[in-house]
Amino acid sequence: MKKLLLLGFFILAYSFYPAITTAQIPYQQGDQGQDVVIIQQKLSKLGLFDGNFDGKFGPKTTNAVKIFQKNNNLVTDGIVGEETFRALLEPTSEISRGNSRNNVSKIINYSMKFIGVPYVFGGTSPNGFDCSGYVQYVFAKNGIILPRTADIQFTQGKLVSKNDLTPGDLVYFTTYAPGASHVGIYIGDNKFINAQSSKGVAIANLSNYYWASRYFGAKRILI
């Protein structure tokens, strides 16, 4: 039965990654082959792997896998077992369960419940949030799983222009680090809600000079 289930999964995975030819799980340091190339390509697309797609599961690939596992609340062992392989090869729209614009009002309303919650670096709960921990928590409670950090969250969803923002889109800013290092949830009327280091969870305006000058881009997670 287990082999049949695995076969079914790999048939589905094949439709997205036709180069996959075997099911030699687990994959770990020292392994080689085309399947490892696919793993490296997927990690690269997520911004986690910057090496060559050489099909050699070395230390750099292991480290990238560990980061992916940590971001997705998986066992952080650097080994691509069944659970990690499934999560890694699923397309973004499948990873984000409950992915529908019908969830917009629920997400916005739920996000408002935490206004005033203090900012805590690394915080992922109502006891204290950082920016990406807050977004991840709000979306997760509405059935949509996002990676842990703002830069990796930015790899998800569809890129949208600032003029086309709609409620529920994620807006990103360059703050303490280059690229997407801060994130909030757009709520309409040129406003977004986010966890700020100075105010905790609060509503901010995109027209404010601080945010306007640091705007990086936006992604649409809710299709």
Cis before 26 (ω within 30): yes
- Catalytic residue positions? 131, 182, 194
Taking 70 as the threshold, does the pLDDT of residue 86 lie above it? yes
Kindly report, residue by residue over 39-54, the tens digit of the pLDDT. Answer: 887 887 776 887 788 8
Cα distances (Å, whole numbers) of residue 217 to 33, 75, 76, 129, 139: 36, 31, 30, 22, 19
CATH of domain 97-220: 3.90.1720.10
Confidence of residue 17 (pLDDT cuts 50, 70, 90): very low
pLDDT at site 40:
86
CATH of domain 2-90: 1.10.101.10
Kindly report, residue by residue over 151-174, the tens digit of the pLDDT. Answer: 999 988 899 999 999 999 999 999
Kindly report, residue by residue over 95-115, the tens digit of the pLDDT. Answer: 344 455 567 999 999 999 999
Taking 60 as the threshold, does the pLDDT of residue 15 lie above it? no
The torsion angles phi and psi of 168, rounded to 5 degrees, stand at 100, -15
- What distance lies between CA 165 and its chain's CA centroid? 19
Strand pairing report for 170-173 and 182-188: antiparallel
Taking 70 as the threshold, does the pLDDT of residue 208 lie above it? yes
pLDDT at site 186:
98
With a pLDDT cut of 90, the percent of the chain lying above it is: 55
| Per-residue 3-state assignment (H helix, E strand, C coil) for 131-152 | HHHHHHHHHHCCCCCCCCCHHH
Taking 60 as the threshold, does the pLDDT of residue 91 lie above it? no
Residue 218 one-letter amino acid: A
Average pLDDT, the chain: 83
Domains of the chain by residue range: 2-90, 97-220
Taking 80 as the threshold, does the pLDDT of residue 177 lie above it? yes
Instruction: Report which secondary-structure segment, H or E, holds 182.
Output: strand 182-188
